[in-house]
Amino acid sequence: MKKFLILFTCLIPFAGICQDNLKLWYKQPAKVWTDALPLGNGRLGAMVFGRVKQELIQLNEATLWSGGPVRTNVNPDAYANLLLAREALFKDEDYAKAYNYAKNMQGYYSESYLPLGDLTITQDLKDTVPTAYYRDLNIRNAISTTRYTINGVTYTRQVIISAPSQVIVIHFTASKAGQLNFKLGAASLLKHSMVMLPGNQLAMKGKAPAHADPNYVDSANPITYDVTGCKGMRFQLQIKAVSKDGKISADTTGVNVKNATEATIFLSAATSFNGFDRCPVSEGKDESKIAGDYMKKASAQSWPTLLAAHYADYRHFFNRVSFKLATPADNSNASLPTDERLVAYTSGVKDPDLETLYFQYGRYLLISSSRTKGVPANLQGIWNKELRPPWSSNYTTNINTQMNYWPAEVANLSEMHVPLIDFIKNVAVTGRRTAKEFYHAKGWVLHHNSDIWALTNPVGDKGKGDPTWANWTMGSPWMSQHLWWHYQYTKDKKYLREVAYPLMKGAAQFCEDWLVPDKDGYLVTAPSVSPENAFFDDKGKKASVSIATTMDMSIIRDLFANVIAAANELGDDKAFRDTIIAKQAKLYPFHIGKKGNLQEWYKDWEDPEPHHRHVSHLFGLFPGNQISPVNTPELTAAAKKTLELRGDEGTGWSLAWKINFWARLLDGNHSYKMIKDLLRATAVSGTKYSGGGGSYINLFDAHPPFQIDGNFGGVSGMAEMLLQSQNNEINMLPALPDAWATGEISGLKARGNFEVSMRWKDMKLTSASVLAVVGGKCTIRTGAPIKVAGVTAGSKRTANGYVTTFNTQKGARYKISSII
């Protein structure tokens, strides 16, 4: 009884944070990078190791990439090869030939996201083995603490990355006066030099490489520098220590602090990046001035002042959502350090608090990695230690970049979606050139890789890439889904008219030109791939480049539906809308294969790898909404069969995608099974493509290696289990698993700009509230009839639960109670 009292007093009046236990904590320092704890303000990132004698804080700056603005017209042969590939596909059904022509259509690889450097704090300690040790990351306040006791002195280091002040701040204290003696040092894998600045400040001045080859490319000279041209931005890191009682000195080897009781360390960094289309050298920003200005302002403030501003800023976003689940009678797992807790959870111990922590951690990671204009979270968010990181730590747009942003709206972090939207504006500029130069097509195209320079060409170094990833062309229509979602959740018509619609229209114009008729008059894509899978053709030969994969057609169908809806919403552009309506009717349709599955390919071909991690042909189930149990039961059954044939195993993002799929199939228990798989402890550091997905002890998603998309896809999947809003209705608790029988969540967002809170007990919704941020019609689907306070409309029984529709007033909150 007491437990439920605690649980339920939280939600009144459905606002404010009540979730506790929002910490990752450990009894020992980080041994490896994925033990360290991530902090970020969306631009600056840090991985805090929590070491004793020599602390290591690995640093990142979101705009620090190799390379410079993209070159144009890099493959003048592309169009001729497109025509040849189409001839091979339509006339000869020769998939091997089409594959080779596709290779001839490639451009250059993307650039890489780079590490800024390492900060070391070397303490002058006689003993190095502490008698007490503790480190944590508190995600309610976005602060990391490391504490240890040596020779009777307790040392405490707290680290924040402030968004208001744009600096990293480390507050270091000793429990006995004058016991702090340490040296700050810095290193970087990039070319750099250390220089002194006035006031005992140290600066690292550096330059990024002109190019870094992807880690999967065998290369004799993978990192190159350009001394005179536009490739290779400048960067600067400034280091300063402030102490009331300590003595500070510095030279180019580091900053020394002697006999202090308390010291505050400031790190400020900036690059000369000045936009995707500007030379970062001659037209670059003054990184020295930017870093210097932030440093000057921040270091004049006290630790409590900096902390208060940081808390206020962070909590403004984080506190919007609270999520609690009833805990088992024996909830002792929740009090274990996070590494032990994860291992116990993996062995089957129940720990619902770990699941809600994981959900909130994903929200924390998005707030921490996605706040830089035009620079969305990349494959590793903003946390990368390597010069040649896995897959260049770039933007991989055949699933990964989009997955990063699946939770942005539903988890009430709409502002964090904006860096992606601004990035889409950039790729629409370069993508227009690529569409014209490569394919003689209108509109804009984006292939499967991009970078801070808004690269849009098919990668592969002109023929070295495998077309099954390099030649995937559906980036612009898929990205457009995010433009539309942002509108659906905000209902901001000005944004729709001025930003989203023109970009969506540009993607639709590309699709119009890219689609060609097949022999039956259907509009199809050719060449076409299903990332990154293959098939056995009619002759039993393994192939991957074909016609009209289900993913291509689903993405285009999604875009066309959204463009039509957007034009209707704006009451504008009728002629264009009508041409899209006409084309929509001719798109190659879904097919159900002989095994009862949703067909992945143009024909019902067999898979060489039936358990492949990509499940691209279910795009229409999620993130699309063309397949749903209510509207398309046959396709839904086929989608379910597909998932059963594919199996549950996968890399991190693949597991996360499957949480979302099963939620859309309304099978909460299967979604929950996938959550458990996503949260299983792993330490695999090498690359694994089949299986191996899970979580490291810092709860970073393991692809393996680390890739952040699974964290974000996991948050999205959990939200989809509790709330769906894709079909003009708010579906409350659509896929509740037995393991989450009793709980509450507040602050999720639904399309239509409704903020939703719900409370449920023994698998049944007991009460809810809907805040109508902008007003308008609201339709709610529930398992049992509901009553909406102050509203006369009753619930109508349907084949799939009850539907209640009522009009809302802008700003009003509607209280809902369950009738049963």
Interface residue list for ligand FUC (CB under 6 A): 379, 391, 396, 400, 469, 532, 613, 651, 653, 689, 703, 707
Give 67's DSSP letter. Answer: S
Residue 671 beta carbon to ligand FUC: minimum distance, rounded to whole angstroms: 21
d(CA 51, CA 36): 10
558-596 per-residue burial string, b: 16 or more CB within 10 A, e: under 16: bbbbbbbebbebeeebeebbeebeebbeebbebbbbeee
**Which of these, 299, 233, 307, lies nearest to 270 by C-alpha position?**
233
Shortest separation between residue 449's beta carbon and ligand FUC, angstroms: 9
Closer CB to ligand FUC, 651 or 808, in the complex: 651
Question: Which residue's CB is nearer to ligand FUC, number 166 or number 651?
Answer: 651
430, 456 in Cβ contact below 8 A?
A: yes
Shortest Å, Cβ 668 to ligand FUC: 26
Smallest distance from ligand FUC to CB 75, Å = 21
214 within 8 A of 109, measured Cβ to Cβ: yes
Per-residue HEC secondary structure of 440-479 comes to CCCCCCECCEECCCCCCCCCCCCCCCCHHHHCCCEHHHHH
Q: Are 639 and 661 in contact (CB under 8 A)?
A: yes
Q: What is the 3-state secondary structure (H, E, C) of 190-211?
A: CEEEEEEECCCEEEEEEECCCE
Nearer to ligand FUC, 605 or 653 (CB): 653
Shortest distance (Å) from residue 391 CB to ligand FUC: 4
Cβ atoms of 412 and 73 within 8 Å: the answer is: no
Smaller CB separation from ligand FUC, 133 or 689:
689
* Dist CA 179 CA 156 (whole Å): 12
- Looking at the Cβ atoms of 81 and 380, the one nearer to ligand FUC is 380
Q: CA-CA distance, 107 to 475, in Å (whole number)?
A: 16
For ligand FUC, the closer of residues 391 and 602 by Cβ is: 391
Per DSSP, the three-state class of 781 is strand
Nearer Cβ to ligand FUC (44/379): 379
Please state, in angstroms and as integers, the Cα–Cα distance from residue 509 to each residue in 252, 477, 637, 752, following that order. Answer: 56, 10, 33, 27
Give the shortest CB-109-to-ligand FUC separation in angstroms. 13
CA dihedral 791, 795, 796, 801 (to 10 degrees): 150
Nearer to ligand FUC, 379 or 718 (CB): 379
Q: Please report how close the Cβ of residue 358 comes to ligand FUC at its closest, in angstroms.
A: 20
Which residue is at the shortest CB distance from ligand FUC? 391
Shortest approach of ligand FUC to residue 532 CB, angstroms? Answer: 5
Backbone angles phi, psi at 206, to 5 degrees: -145, 175
Q: Taking the complex as a whole, how short is the minimal distance between the CB of residue 401 and ligand FUC, in angstroms?
A: 10
How far is CA 235 from its chain centroid? 25
Angle of the 652-664 helix axis to the 633-646 helix axis, nearest 10: 150
What does 670-729 look like in DSSP terms, one character per residue?
A: HHHHHHHHHTSB----S--SSS--EE-TT-PEESSSB-THHHHHHHHHHHHHHEE-TTSS
| Nearest distance from C-beta of residue 704 to ligand FUC, angstroms | 10
> Cα–Cα distance between 138 and 635 in angstroms, integer?
44
**CB of residue 217 vs ligand FUC: minimum separation in angstroms?**
13
Q: What is the spatial distance between Cα 369 and Cα 62, in angstroms, rounded to a whole number? A: 8
Using the Cα atoms of residue 572, residue 575, residue 577 and residue 581 in order, give the sign of their dihedral. Answer: positive
Query: With contact defined as beta carbons under 8 Å apart, do 347 and 676 qualify?
Result: no
Cβ-based nearer residue to ligand FUC, 472 or 485: 472
Please report how close the Cβ of residue 99 comes to ligand FUC at its closest, in angstroms. 17
Residue (380 or 726) nearer to ligand FUC, CB:
380
For residues 231 and 613, which CB has a smaller minimum distance to ligand FUC in the complex?
A: 613
- Give whichever of 450 and 651 is closer to ligand FUC, judged by the CB atom: 651
**CB of residue 674 vs ligand FUC: minimum separation in angstroms?**
17
Q: Which is nearer to ligand FUC, 392 or 795 (CB)?
A: 392
Q: How far is the CB of 324 from ligand FUC (least distance, A)?
A: 32
Q: Which two three-digit tokens encode residue 302? A: 């006290």
**Choice between 111 and 744, CB closer to ligand FUC:** 111
Q: Which residues are 251's β-sheet partners?
A: 254
* Residue 252, φ and ψ in degrees, nearest 5: -70, -10
Residue of 712, 607, 699 lying closest to 655 (CA atoms): 712
Residues 637 and 620: their CA atoms lie apart, in Å, by 13
Nearest CB to ligand FUC, comparing residues 455 and 771: 455
Q: How far apart are CA 693 and CA 707, in angstroms?
A: 10
Of 353, 418, 278, the C-alpha closest to 21 is 353
